[in-house]
Structure 1
Amino acid sequence: MEQRYKATNQAYWSVITLTAKEGKVARDKTATEARNPTHAGGVVFRLRGGAAEYLLVEATNDPAQWVLPKGHVEEGEEPRETAVREVHEETGVWARIVHDLGTATWPVDGAVVTTRFYLMQAAGAGLRKEKDRRHDWLKLNEAIAKASHVETRELLQAAEQRRLRGVGPVTGASAA
């Protein structure tokens, strides 16, 4: 059963990665999860010496795991607002959304978690709320190697492809 879950999850992320690479977000108009994500987060990059570095953070429940910053969409909050807030709360980094990377859905503890991810560019730093969680800026190949989940690695690759094509306008809503 565990192997089937992993295979299904990997196949789902592969489809998301392919659509993100093409600059399209897969949207099923009947899927309320896609319209109403429960979580939002960012694939945050900064440019250092002409090279992109990506931001990873320790997982809340397991500091040995490195993940993308993300969190729960609060009532009345737009996913874009959640992504900006969560990135800042978890890392102290302020970032602006430059592109919608799509929505991913997977089961967690008997519930369905739907997360909207955005390509985000670091704009500055400030104090963060979660001081006990470490974060790290890494070049793409280092971030992929350090990421704990295949989904995170695939999302990092899709984000880099989108960044290299030029970020262009944000899809799905007006720019932040």
Structure 2
Amino acid sequence: MSGSAGRTGASKPGRRRRRQRGRRLNTVDETSAGGLVMDADRQNAALIGRLDRHGKLLWSLPKGHIEDGETVEQTAMREVREETGISARVLQPLGTIDYWFVAERRRVHKTVHHFLLEATGGELSDEDIEVTEVAWVPVTELETTLAYSDERRLVRKAKELFDREQRAAEGAPE
């Protein structure tokens, strides 16, 4: 009798069988808004830091869920104020990011509407329970500070908008 005789359904050595659990995750859609909030001189941006599940601080743009009756612009301003302590006004849309993740036995498709915002008042505060730290970060450091590539892409777009505005103000052709 060979070493594998008598074993029915045995897998080949070195392979693991994938278990089918018979449970499917419910898929839900979530929509949020937030953005890149700049100081009046457009030299610094307010970022939030959150700890990931490994205890690493990840810096990102403030954002959060849309409440009933709110527009995406109103949500962006409210979330910036709640998460950073900074009051801001929306200047223009920057773009939309969507991504998937699993949480609480649900598969979540998240869409986040981002805006370029300008600070109008307030002081940095990390009182929001979801935020570990907040900071004004120089625009020149955003690409190396932000944890997520999609947010870094939005920052590049904002820099292009600033450059265009600057050229227009100086009377240079675009």
Shorter-normalised TM-score: what interval? 0.5 to 0.7
Partner Cα separation in structure 2 for residue 89 and residue 166 of structure 1:
29
Percent identity at matched positions? 31
Which letter maps to 2:92?
A: H
Deviations 1:108-157 (A, max 9, x none): 21111011100001111158551763111122221221111111211111
Matches within 5 A, 1:101-140: 101-109=94-102, 110-126=107-123, 129-130=127-128, 133-140=132-139
**Secondary structure of the structure 2 residue equivalent to 1:116:** strand
1:2-41 paired onto structure 2 within 5 Å:
38-41=31-34
Match of 2:70, SS? Answer: coil
Considering fraction of residues, name the structure with more strand: 2
The higher radius of gyration belongs to 2
Q: Which whole-Å CA distance do the structure 2 matches of 1:83 and 1:90 have between them?
A: 10
Counterpart contact for 1:39–1:72, Cα < 8 Å = yes
Q: Secondary structure at the match of 1:121?
A: strand
- 1:40-71 per-position Cα deviation (integer Å, ceiling 9, x unaligned): 001111145xx621121112656610000000
In structure 2, C-alpha distance between the alignment counterparts of 1:60 and 1:85, rounded to whole Å: 22
User: Which runs of 5 or more residues in structure 2 are unaligned?
Assistant: 1-28, 167-174
TM-score by length of 1: 0.65
In the alignment, what sits opposite 1:52?
43
Q: Give CA-to-partner distance per residue, 1:84-111, whole Å, 9 cap, x none.
A: 0000000000011001112221112111
Greater helix proportion: 1
Residues matched between the structures, number = 130
Equivalent positions of 1:58-69 (< 5 A) are: 58-59=49-50, 61=52, 64-69=57-62
- In the TM superposition, structure 1's runs of 4+ consecutive aligned residues that sit over 3 Å from their partners are 60-63, 126-129
TM-score calculated relative to the size of structure 2: 0.66
Distance 2:138 2:96 in 1: 24
